[in-house]
């Protein structure tokens, strides 16, 4: 029986939280990660194969050797400004390598596939609030690279070769509430991670990119979802596919947003530190507001969030940051 789950990028931030929850409920998990941005210790007791999703012979061997029954695909580059500067890097890793992985799945008869996508596929929505039927118009190569992978999955599904769940993440934040794993990427760009580093003296300041948006305080608004809740959504999606559920595309968010200033205020409140804030011009590829309508995730998968509280999200991120080395990071 092919019950082993292959998790690509499972040594990274989000993938490792999913691996942890899968392992906790007794699943057999194999992680494929090149460890460029992931961490060997983050996979826990799961089997780790160090390698690249673009290595077709390696992926094919893993599929056969471990009798893979489902794939959860997280391996990707995810930094929006970098994608604007170096688009081919994103199309190569996020799109071409996904195509390679899908081909290996088809060859091995693996029909269940969970895809880590992004709210960046929506681009600059007129209202700033997106449901799954909102037109997709990505405004940066990161979003476009993920949308291309979504298209490949849908076409495979239409051809009868794949059952899939596409999960479109909004802003993922926080860390394992028990402090076992977290966001460890050096020179990270995620707002909450950067703010926590600054609060603990690892950065000299924090920058706000854009203070003139048409929002209540002029800064960008995002829907922040705790990584533990997001991981739980993946397990429900996997169960849905194992029960021969139909292919789905689902937003992953809480359905409300916080501005950059509100997040910074929460970090100051929880940490007790006053942050040095530098106001910078807008960055290319950043929409003013992006909030999920995520009713479908709750209705179709029975998902109920447990950590929809900004101060709790900040607390878990701060606690993890305190465990990491205190070498100062570049601004």
Rounded Cα distance, 148 and 134, in Å: 17
149-174 burial, b if ≥16 CB within 10 A, otherwise e?
bbebbeebbeeebbbbbbbbbbbbbb
Contacts of residue 119, defined as CB under 8 A and 6 or more positions apart, other chains included, come to 130, 168, 169, 170, 171, 223, 251, 253, 290, 292
DSSP lists the bridge partners of residue 166 as: 115, 249
> Active-site residue 213, yes or no?
no
Among residues 279, 278, 280, 273, the alpha carbon closest in space to that of 201 is found at: 273
Among residues 303, 195, 318, 198, the alpha carbon closest in space to that of 258 is found at: 195
H or E element: which one contains 259?
A: strand 258-259
Rounded Cα distance, 24 and 227, in Å: 16
172 touches 307 (CB < 8 A): no
Phi-psi region of 13 (alpha: psi -120 to 50; beta: other; left: phi over 0): alpha
* Both tokens assigned to 274: 């006053």
Select which of 90, 91, 122, 142 is catalytic: 142
DSSP lists the bridge partners of residue 118 as: 169
What does DSSP say about strands 289-292 and 221-222: parallel, antiparallel, or unpaired?
parallel
What one-character DSSP code corresponds to residue 131? Answer: -
Rounded Cα distance, 252 and 242, in Å: 20
Catalytic residues: 142
């Amino acid at each position: 029986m092919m019950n082993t789950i292959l998790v690509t990028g499972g040594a990274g931030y989000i993938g490792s939280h999913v691996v942890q929850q899968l392992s906790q409920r007794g699943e057999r998990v194999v992680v494929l990660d090149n460890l460029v941005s992931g961490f060997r210790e983050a996979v826990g007791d799961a089997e780790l194969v160090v390698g690249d999703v673009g290595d077709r012979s390696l992926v094919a061997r893993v599929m056969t050797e471990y009798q893979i029954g489902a794939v959860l695909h997280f391996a990707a580059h995810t930094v929006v400004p970098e994608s604007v500067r170096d688009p081919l890097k994103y199309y190569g890793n996020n799109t071409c390598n996904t195509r390679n992985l899908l081909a290996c799945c088809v060859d091995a008869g693996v029909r269940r596939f969970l895809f880590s996508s992004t709210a960046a596929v929506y681009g600059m929505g007129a209202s700033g609030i997106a449901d799954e039927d909102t037109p997709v118009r990505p405004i940066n190569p990161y979003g476009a690279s993920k949308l291309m992978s979504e298209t490949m999955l849908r076409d495979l599904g239409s051809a009868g070769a794949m059952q899939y769940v596409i999960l479109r993440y909004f802003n993922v934040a926080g860390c394992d509430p028990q402090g076992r794993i977290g966001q460890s990427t050096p020179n990270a760009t995620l707002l909450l991670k950067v703010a926590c580093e600054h609060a603990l003296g690892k950065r000299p300041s924090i920058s706000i990119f854009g203070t003139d948006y048409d929002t209540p305080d002029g800064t960008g608004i995002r829907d922040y979802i705790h990584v533990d809740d997001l991981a739980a959504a993946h397990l429900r999606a996997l169960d849905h596919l194992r029960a021969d559920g139909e292919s789905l595309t689902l937003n992953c968010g809480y359905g409300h947003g916080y501005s950059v200033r509100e997040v910074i205020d929460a970090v100051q409140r929880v940490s007790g530190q006053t942050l040095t804030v530098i106001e910078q011009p807008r960055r290319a590829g950043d929409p003013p507001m992006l909030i999920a309508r995520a009713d479908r995730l709750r209705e179709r998968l029975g998902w109920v969030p447990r950590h929809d509280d900004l101060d709790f999200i900040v607390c878990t991120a701060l606690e993890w940051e305190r465990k990491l080395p205190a070498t100062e990071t570049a601004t």
